[in-house]
Amino acid sequence: MYYSRSLKDVWLKASRQFGVLLLTGPRQAGKTTFLKHICPADRTYITLDDPPTRALAQEDGGLFMKRFAPPLLIDEIQYAPSLMPYIKIAVDSSSKKGQFWLTGSQQFLMMKGISETLAGRVAILNILGFSNRERERSNLDIEPLIPEKKMLAPRLSYAKKPNLRQIYKNIWLGSFPALVARSAKNRELYYSSYLQTYLQRDVRDLTQVGDETAFLKFIRACAARTAQLLNLADLAKDTDISIPTAKKWLSILRASFQIFLLQPYHSNITQRLIKTPKLYFLDTGLCSYLTEWTSPANLEAGAMSGAIFETYVFSEILKSYWYKGLEPTIYYYRDKDKKEIDFVIEKNQKLYPIEVKKGTAPKKDWVGQFSVLSKLKKEISNGIVICMTDRALPIDDKNDAVPITIL
């Protein structure tokens, strides 16, 4: 059973504008399935997972391009970055758009030389697992989340009464298509196999990790710290590695779309802002598996309940932008007085504060920290608290509590 992806219209529009399109995201996020589903009949599919094809692409790009004429869909392009100059030549010699569709399981800028070679010729789009909208197979055309009242109205119109048990079931299961669509029925086996493939393929491709056991321990330590301020010294100490190694391994997790480092809101007006990023795992199911929560109920009642809830909200906000081909200007706020706001979205010189709470009954102190943004001398617009309330409720004249089902 195919689940439609929100990225479809953005991708097809970009294909009419650029000569090359690159879709990046973690392994098994559904990149190939998505592109093959929307692929016209005249586009040839090639995977560089195939050793002979990969060898040809790596060793003789000219012959590869003669053998496979565009339009092409080339899977796992990171295995043959030396192919990029030949793609550039092909694009420059033709006025046709969308001749090359590429996928990669590593961040584009981590692929040596590709960004420089295809500058101005490539559109780069990111995809993760299913969003909540895709999981429910409804309202895929919704605009990215912004707490403006008129922008929230469509989301509120379809928001259901939250079901705590179902939400944590979704969080615990994760968003990988194979698990959501139930083609993989054994969650533990799926994630165990995923980690083995990830360690053996992506990690070895990006860098030489001498001790895979230590690296797996490091991934688990990161998962346990989701929605927390990044502390490299603490991570290094707990996993018995050096701080430079921890920094290098963290870059591997970022490059392979396992984590996201959310930057703090920065301003030259005040020097009291914290400058450390917050770490978020991008898939809550993998995060729950790594931290060994054996059921949704145990996860919901456990010590990570709030952090994993916040992680889920962040990943859904991020998907709402990425799946429209946009990069969100989203931050968190924390100052040296420990006043903190979970998320701040900046748009049109306005700041939109967002707080995340697991509770059901809105309280005024939930938005008590929003006022600290006034010192930044920018317009403070509507704020929201994403929580388990049954319906949208005003907290004060400017801020509302909204159900998590708006995501």
Q: Please identify every stretch of the chain with a pLDDT value under 50, giving residue numbers as ranges.
A: 109
Measured between its terminal Cα atoms, the distance across the chain in Å is 23
Of 206, 115, 63, 1, residue with least CA distance to 102: 115
Amino acid at 246: A
Predicted local distance difference test score (pLDDT) of residue 21: 95
Q: What is the DSSP string of 2-31?
A: PPP-TTHHHHHHHHTT-SEEEEE--TTSSH
Query: Per-residue pLDDT tens for 100-133?
Result: 999 988 765 455 556 677 878 889 999 999 999 9
The residues, ordered by sequence, that sit 6+ positions from 307 with a Cβ below 8 Å of its Cβ are 226, 227, 228
- Could you tell me which residues are beta bridge partners of residue 340? 334
Predicted local distance difference test score (pLDDT) of residue 128: 97
Of 198, 201, 202, residue with least CA distance to 289: 198
Predicted local distance difference test score (pLDDT) of residue 119: 77
Name the pTM for this structure.
0.94
The residues, ordered by sequence, that sit 6+ positions from 170 with a Cβ below 8 Å of its Cβ are 132, 135, 312
Instruction: Annotate 26-48 with b (16+ C-beta within 10 A) or e (fewer).
Output: bbbbbbbebbeebeeeebeebeb
Looking at domain 8-126, what is its CATH homologous superfamily? Answer: P-loop containing nucleotide triphosphate hydrolases (3.40.50.300)
Query: Per-residue pLDDT tens for 215-274?
Result: 899 999 999 999 999 999 999 999 999 999 999 899 889 988 999 999 999 765 555 577
Whether the Cβ atoms of residue 361 and residue 288 lie closer than 8 Å to each other? no
Question: Which tokens belong to 348?
Answer: 């049109």
6 C-beta neighbours (distance < 10 Å), count: 20
Main-chain phi, psi angles of 58, to 5 degrees? -75, -35
Predicted local distance difference test score (pLDDT) of residue 117: 77
Alpha carbon distances (Å) from 263 to 10, 109, 233, 238, 274 = 26, 19, 18, 23, 10
Q: Residue 359: left if φ>0, alpha if ψ -120 to 50, beta else—which one? A: beta
Predicted local distance difference test score (pLDDT) of residue 115: 64
**Residue carrying the six token digits 């529009």:** 13
Under DSSP, the state recorded for 249 is H
The residue extents of the domains of the chain are: 8-126, 143-406
